[in-house]
Chain A
Amino acid sequence: MTGTVVRATGLTKRYGSFTAVDAVDFSLEENRIYGLLGRNGAGKTTIMQLLTGQLFASAGRLEVFGREPAEHADVLRRMCFIAESQRYPEDFTPAHVFKSAPWFFENWDAAFAEQLVSDFRLPMKRRIKKLSRGQLSAVGVIVGLASRAPLTFFDEPYLGLDAVARHIFYDRLLEDYVAHPRTVVLSTHLIDEVANLLEHVILIDQGRILLDRDADEVRGSATTIAGPRNTVEAFVADRPVIGREGLGGLASVTIDGRLDQRDRIQAAELGLELAPVSLQQLIVHLTGTDLAGSTEQENAA
């Protein structure tokens, strides 16, 4: 049985005249891996802080495990959120973090945490302040994995991690997720790194949701058409264009939406090349302000 873990309606967070999260609606289903994607400052961390009751919404409704999260112990104990810029108590070391974690997370797996510490080669006795960016990310990743909280957030887990460490995180998360299903929210702007891990994508930009779709659907949802400029332009004339690039007489245009069999045959006959769009490319097209701006103008023209 699946259930809804989070439901947000018109969720808004304002700081003075700045709106960090602007009336977003979304829901998170049980036991799925979500990607909360967007550029720096898009509002990813603010959304996670709202969901974990760390911030109070300015407007809108938010239910996490059926109720408002802030100050509700029975909701909060099901969640784990180590922020990318997490503050730790004075003179804390990773050893202190992992010693106190079981008091807060009832499903804490100490053996798993120990395994991860050696996988990531995390120095246990070094002060948190003295850790490198990658080691700091590893602390958050280890807490997130070993806590096995029903709703776990990973805030920019890849920041500073080397290639081996990224791979370890990827493998361990998938293995452990299969053995102990839970709802995972991964926030990142390094999209290619997590693309294959995600089951659902929520893309935010400037506090608004641009895309809230199944990851498989997103992967096949856009197509790039390349070829001689005039032929390409004629082909995409009445299609939703989300990106345009050109070089001399050649053009490469990205459209939102699938091409059916008939379209593909037509494109082949015109000598156009069709290429799938990666998640990262799609997101660049959707959130790149300059690109989006010029696209709108072109569409209007």
Chain B
Amino acid sequence: MTAVATAPVVRTEARSRAHEIWRIVRLHAVNPSIFFGIPWMIIGAAWAISLIITLIIRAGSGGDVTTEDLDNMRYSWAVLSPQWYLVVVGVQAIGFTFSFALGFGTTRRDFWVGTSVMFLLVSIMYAAAIATLVQIEIATDGWGLGAHMFDALWYGQNWFLDFYTSFALQLLVLFIGASVTTVYMRWRMRGMMILLFTAIALLLAAITGVTLTGSWPSLFAWFGTIGIAGVFSVVLGLAVVSAIVGYFVIRRATPR
């Protein structure tokens, strides 16, 4: 009786499966509007609006506008506009693409590693692009109008710092969206509620602790000493933690 003998399996899987991981990157990129098209449209629209506002300021002040006046545009958050959308991209990568990839016979491990590679590549691309656009804006004296879109907030010190901070922020935004969604995919609504209330409780406990010990000044002093690069190293650290937690959570997650 043949039913007794199980068909022998030739095990061909390797420990590092470059093909299996790279195809997840390709799957995320097969519809390029998600990771590339829409974010660039948002950046483009924010840029256009920034320039129009600059023109309105110039027209409204009758031509005697100073560079100092326009420097107030440094407080515009336009340069961060695609970040909000990219949180959603992180959520959808797990909420939709994960279920689909499982149907196509991927392991959860390969999916998460492939998704992380995609996030890394996307973050490098946007960080390099933003850092370069900051330099172009400075070189062209605000696109010839004194406008500040990219050379805003903490940006504009040097290319490498701009690249590093953008990269860290980008990675955090994508991994937070993705790893929180892995909690949903594994424990559904109950998991999300526990996560939410735990996060609120921890935040309140931290605020209470700092307030009671009167250590707000020393906390701000610490942020002052570590500087912009230090603060974004903390951001990068959070992104790495999200990535590692997401890996362990998704290993037992189930599709919807």
Contacts and interface: CB of A to CB of B under 8 A. Distances in A.
A67 interface: yes
Interface string A41-78: 00000000100111110000001011100011111111
A112 interface: no
Given A65-B9, A90-B96, A83 B103 contact: yes
Nearest to A82: B103
A180 B110 CA distance: 29
B105 A88 contact: no
| Contact-residue bracket for chain A | 35 or more
B103 A89 contact: no
Interface in B185-219: none
B7 A81 contact: no
A182 to B, nearest CB: 13
A294 interface: no
A71 B108 contact: yes
Contacts, number: 121
Contacts of A67: 9
Given A54-B102, A87-B255, A103-B27, A73 B6 contact: no
B256 A87 contact: yes
A67 B252 CA distance: 17
Contacts of A80: 103-105
B198 to A, nearest CB: 22
Given A29-B3, A100-B26, A79 B100 contact: no
Contacts of B33: 91
A51 to B, nearest CB: 12
B8 A66 contact: yes
Given A89-B31, A89-B100, 14 more contacts: A3-B5, A4-B6, A52-B105, A53-B102, A73-B107, A74-B9, A87-B99, A89-B92, A100-B23, A100-B30, A103-B27, A104-B23, A104-B104, A105-B104
Interface of A: 1-5, 7, 27, 29-30, 49, 52-56, 63, 65-67, 71-83, 86-93, 96, 99-101, 103-105, 149
